[in-house]
Chain A
Amino acid sequence: MSLAILLAGTRKGLMIARSADDRRTWATSDFQFLNQEVYSVAIDTRHDPPRIFAGVGTGHWGPLLTYSDDLGKSWTEPVAPPIGFPTGSDAAVARVWQLQPATAQQPDVVYAGVEPHALFRSDDRGESFSLVEGLWEHPDRPSWQPGGGGACLHTVLTHPTDPDDLIVVMSAAGVYRSQDGGANWKPANRGIQVANVPEDQRFPVFGQCVHKVAFHPATPQRLFAQNHFGVYRSEDRGDSWAPIESGLPSNFGFAMVAHPHRPDVLYNFPLQADAERFPPEARLRVYRTEDAGASWEPLSRGLPEDPYYGAVLRDSMVADSLDPVGVYFGTRLGEVYASRDDGDSWSMIAEHLPDVLSVRVAEVA
């Protein structure tokens, strides 16, 4: 019997849920890192046993990057500081926002996106990380502004066949792409607007507050972006973007997930607006497109019908790789919902948690 594991990082700890019955039921009593924020989690299945990572904020005592090789029974904190800016750079890691294992071609490479805006790379499975200098030294960096959540590099995307082709997403700097393994970077925001500035300044080269970018591994040239007001698609890996928000109740939101098997299928969790960060009409619904954004349909079967005021943050909605696919999201009301039929129907698998910041899921045995 296979084992699926789901990590839900919250404002005050990490829940580890396990399912041994093809995701029908989940054991959710394992809650760790009490009173510590868990902004980033990852499940690296490229080795056996899998390694799970957690980017933990320890409040007074600074950020912590730790991992477990026994599915969360015990955790290892490297003796040498695993992640930090070089001495003399005058910067210090405030928070680890993203932990992203690279592709199977680079089984020991793990990327970390941090606050302040920076990318780190590990070549030893997360024991130690080095600053990606090409991005840190980028001439645009002094002009990058923080988003509402901080000056965060929150998304790292690796290309399925070209390990030198990297994309990072930062709030509020936008999308940047490297095609040489991180040595050089170019902004990739053409067509994405900044909504709240004078009209003639709405399409800058960088400075957009892109909240999430997703893509399907079979179509790496096609990207989807959820912007701070605006949902977009690119057919040229970020060289240009066009809106795909027609049919959505709002163009604001954070979370966006590509279907792991069907390249035209994408999930989105709209919120009413930046000043109203609630589900539109206070109805808890995931939206799905099956035609790459040409049309959208709400998915709500099994979700609460009462007014719902919990948002879903950028890293709190994910899909597994099974067939039919499982889709999962955690809310700021401390609930985790799951679908095991492509999003057609949903059930709640955890409640009464602190607000959920990050979710990852994988089949691990």
Chain B
Amino acid sequence: MTSRLLLPAALRRYAGEQAEVEIRGGTLGAALDDLAERHPQLERRLRDEQGRLRPHVLMFVDGVSVRGGAPMETTVSDGAEVFVAPAVSGGSG
């Protein structure tokens, strides 16, 4: 399975200034494991060291939020778009 990870501007520096990178895996967890192999500094900004989505990171697979339940088990189909965004929470003034 190959899909596209679409990045906000703040994260592009960790992917060679690209707006999107290719990721491979049938679930979000597997795709981010793949990302960690090629862009570890990008992946660690999305997940903590236990593989959990960081609290103020939003991810959508084909437009559907992965929050709630088990985000890393989310199915990522071939050609899917995985969209990353900072939540509007998480700032400190």
Spell out A's residues near B (CB within 8 Å). 11, 37, 58-62, 77, 79-81, 84-85, 87-93
What are 27 of the A-B contact pairs (CB < 8 Å)? A11-B92, A37-B92, A58-B45, A59-B91, A60-B54, A60-B56, A60-B86, A60-B90, A61-B11, A61-B45, A61-B57, A62-B48, A77-B41, A79-B40, A79-B41, A80-B40, A84-B48, A85-B49, A85-B50, A87-B49, A87-B51, A88-B50, A90-B50, A92-B48, A92-B52, A93-B48, A93-B49
Q: Give the CA-CA distance A81 to B47 in the complex, in Å.
A: 12
Which of the residues A61, A79, A92 comes within 8 Å of B49, measured between beta carbons?
A92
Docked-complex contact A87 and B50, CB < 8 angstroms = yes
B12 an interface residue at 8 Å Cβ cutoff?
A: no
Residues of B21-77 whose CB lies within 8 A of A: 40-41, 44-46, 48-52, 54, 56-57
Kindly state the interface size class of chain B when it binds its partner.
20 to 34
- Chief secondary structure at chain A's binding surface: loop
Q: Can you name the residue of chain A whose Cβ is closest to the Cβ of B45?
A: A61
Q: Give the CA-CA distance A60 to B46 in the complex, in Å.
A: 9
Which of the residues B40, B54, B91, B93 comes within 8 Å of A81, measured between beta carbons?
B40
Q: Give the CA-CA distance A84 to B10 in the complex, in Å.
A: 22
B19 an interface residue at 8 Å Cβ cutoff?
A: no
Across the A-B interface, how many residue pairs have beta carbons closer than 8 Å?
50
Known: A84-B48, A85-B50. 10 other contacts (CB 8 A): A59-B90, A60-B56, A61-B45, A62-B45, A62-B48, A85-B49, A87-B51, A91-B50, A92-B50, A92-B52
B1 an interface residue at 8 Å Cβ cutoff?
A: no
Spell out B's residues near A (CB within 8 Å). 10-11, 40-41, 44-46, 48-52, 54, 56-57, 86-87, 90-93
Q: Can you name the residue of chain A whose Cβ is closest to the Cβ of B36?
A: A81
Q: Which residues of B contact A59 (CB under 8 A)?
A: 56, 86, 90-92
Q: Give the CA-CA distance A91 to B49 in the complex, in Å.
A: 8
Q: Which residues of A contact B91 (CB under 8 A)?
A: 59
Q: Which residues of A contact B90 (CB under 8 A)?
A: 59-60
Q: How far does the Cβ of A190 sit from chain B's closest Cβ, in whole Å?
A: 36
The 4 A-B pairs at the shortest CB distance, nearest first, are namely A84-B49, A92-B48, A61-B45, A60-B86
Q: Give the CA-CA distance A88 to B40 in the complex, in Å.
A: 19
Q: Can you name the residue of chain B whose Cβ is closest to the Cβ of A57?
A: B92
Q: Which residues of B contact A37 (CB under 8 A)?
A: 92
Q: Give the CA-CA distance A84 to B57 in the complex, in Å.
A: 19
Q: Which residues of B contact A87 (CB under 8 A)?
A: 49-51
Docked-complex contact A81 and B92, CB < 8 angstroms = no
Which of A61, A85, A88, A91 neighbours the largest number of chain B CB atoms within 10 Å of its CB?
A: A61
Q: Give the CA-CA distance A85 to B48 in the complex, in Å.
A: 9
Docked-complex contact B40 and A61, CB < 8 angstroms = no
Q: Which residues of A contact B46 (CB under 8 A)?
A: 61
Docked-complex contact B86 and A81, CB < 8 angstroms = no
Q: Which residues of B contact A60 (CB under 8 A)?
A: 54, 56-57, 86-87, 90
Which of B11, B44, B45 neighbours the largest number of chain A CB atoms within 10 Å of its CB?
A: B44
Q: Give the CA-CA distance A79 to B38 in the complex, in Å.
A: 10
Q: Which residues of B contact A89 (CB under 8 A)?
A: 50
Q: Give the CA-CA distance A88 to B11 in the complex, in Å.
A: 27
Q: Which residues of B contact A88 (CB under 8 A)?
A: 50
Q: Give the CA-CA distance A11 to B92 in the complex, in Å.
A: 9
